[in-house]
Structure 1
Amino acid sequence: YYAHDAWQLLVACVLMSRVSSWECKHNTISAFFAKYPTPTAALAAKPNDVLEVIRPLGLFPNRFRSVVEISAKILTEAGPLDVGPDQERKIYGVGEFGIDSFNVFCRGDLSVNPGDKTLQSFVNWQRRRGHEKK
């Protein structure tokens, strides 16, 4: 759903982290993007309003901080967005899965070997189809 847009992809990754219920993730993330469709809308939101939307996911202070940092980075980054584990590219709350997802879906980088089994299956499938960058 969200792989076409770096902001939505990264926000979805931090919202779905540590939540096992697909239905809970899907419903909550869909509701979040319905109410806050852009980084600007997310930054303008009152924390209590966001809490009401993402409460089912738990860990509100951490998730909210991540959404704010992702949104601010998207809006202020000079040049193309770059996300990684090192200090210069790190965004609070964006871990290995978010970084790997960003590299695969936003950059088209299939040289990544993700730790997530489902993402790795997607990468392997794309490689078999000949979609790896030369």
Structure 2
Amino acid sequence: MGEQGSGGEEKRAKAVKKATAAAKGTAAAKPAVKKAAVKKVTPAKKSEGAVTALEAPKPPRNESRTALVRRARRINRELAEIYPYAHPELDFENPFQLVVATVLSAQTTDLRVNQTTPGLFAKYPTPEDLAAANPEDVEEILRPTGFFRAKTKSVIGLSKALVEQFDGEVPGRLEDLVKLPGVGRKTAFVVLGNAFGRPGITVDTHFQRLVRRWRWTEATEPDKIEAAVGALFPKSEWTMLSHHVIFHGRRICHARKPACGACPIAPLCPAYGEGETDPEKAKKLLKYEKGGFPGQRLNPPQAYLDAGGRPAPPLGAG
């Protein structure tokens, strides 16, 4: 009886010991699981870019200003790694070509502009030439870009203004650029940042959509968005920030169906899940070089070509 009692005590002691060890093991395993989950996000972000809903925590609504600045700057750093070849997607060789091309890009794609401007600049290479052009001839060239009558009026008007007010040279100041017909702040900052190397934020439709999805601002007016986002970053980063955001909006974070499951910055995005989260399905939504297709420029920078990007076809090709 004593031996049996002793054996029973031993069994109970072993059982308690085993349960205690299991409990400790579970408790010890919890931090390891969390740690592994964090590690899992990083390689996925750098390589395949696919994450699951569990791996994409949403920043809280009551995010502090400091936390917002850190998250915004981290997103920009990540985008710089994803798009080290980001660039203005309009073909141009000088400030005049860039300001005209940017005016023409309203309500159409950069690709369509790039396919149209070679013919325009071949016939009218300088502001003086375009200022003296027959509007009907210019309209015929610009027809593929849409709203060609209004655009013809703008580009001839801005050419005349350049000749009459600036000796045929594109000015390098914001206050002068916005006086030109058809040139607003967005166009002015494109020209300043990419033709003159002066920092500016380009608030186009892609930029507006993404910064609101990322909760960098709730503003809806371009000038207020520009001010709010500009306050989050050093001025020296504004131009490349614009390129990074616009590239991401065109390639992955689309307006109608974002490719969330293929997005490398999903863990930092409050809007994760608005689009397709399945990695394989999301990959099929990728555009331009991310999807293996041509880009928007006929003559893109060498860095873009080195990264696997392909130039767009000329107008009428294929």
8 Å CA contact 1:36, 1:42 repeated in 2:
yes
Give structure 2 stretches of 5+ with no counterpart: 1-90, 208-238, 246-318
What's the CA shift for 1:67?
0.8
Q: Cα gap change, 1:59/1:75 in structure 2, threshold over 3 Å: closer, same or farther? A: same
Whether 1:108 aligns to 2:215 is no
Matched position secondary structure for 2:197 = coil
Is the counterpart of residue 41 in structure 1 residue 163 in structure 2? no
- Are residue 96 (structure 1) and residue 218 (structure 2) matched? no
Q: Which amino acid aligns with 2:114?
A: H
Identity of aligned residues (%): 29
Picking from 105, 111, 121, the partner of 2:243 is 121
Cα distance in 2 for residues equivalent to 1:76 and 1:30: 25
Counterpart pick for 1:30 among 118, 124, 129: 118
TM-score normalized by the length of structure 2: 0.33
Flag structure 1 segments of 5+ consecutive residues without an equivalent.
124-134
Question: Aligned pair in 2 of structure 1 residues 19, 65: CA closer, same or farther (>3 Å)?
Answer: same
Is the contact between residue 83 and residue 90 of structure 1 (CA under 8 Å) also seen in structure 2?
no
Q: Name the larger-Rg structure.
A: 2
CA distance in 2, matches of 1:88, 1:9: 12
By how many angstroms is 1:97 displaced?
Answer: 2.6
Alignment TM-score, normalising by the size of structure 1: 0.72
In structure 2, the partner of 1:74 is: 162
| Counterparts of 1:88 and 1:58, CA distance in 2 | 23
Query: What does residue 10 of structure 1 align with?
Result: 99
Distance 1:38 1:108, change over 3 A: same
- Assess if the C-alpha contact under 8 Å between 1:10 and 1:98 holds in 2: yes
Give secondary structure in 1 for the equivalent of 2:139: helix
Residues 63 and 44 from structure 1, CA distance in 2 versus in 1: closer, same or farther, beyond 3 angstroms? same
Contact 1:82 1:89 (8 Å CA) reproduced:
no
Q: Which residue of 2 aligns with 1:54?
A: 142
Change (3 A) 1:108 1:91: same
| CA distance in 2 between partners of 1:6 and 1:50 (Å) | 20
Task: Write the letter of the residue equivalent to 1:121.
Answer: H
Deviation at 1:10, TM superposition (A): 0.7
Q: Indicate if the aligned counterparts of 1:7 and 1:70 stay in contact, CA closer than 8 A.
A: no
Q: Root-mean-square deviation (CA), in Å?
A: 2.8
CA–CA distance in structure 1, aligned partners of residues 115 and 152 of structure 2: 17
Distance, in Å, in 2 between the alignment partners of 1:83 and 1:92 is 15
User: Aligned pair in 2 of structure 1 residues 64, 73: CA closer, same or farther (>3 Å)?
Assistant: same
Aligned counterparts of 1:101 and 1:62: Cα–Cα separation in 2: 21
Structure 1 pair 115/37, CA: closer, same or farther in 2 (3 Å)? Answer: same
**AA at the equivalent of 1:13:** T
May I ask how many residue pairs the two structures share in their alignment? 119
Q: 1:49 to 1:109 in 2, by over 3 A?
A: same
DSSP 3-state at the match of 2:192: helix
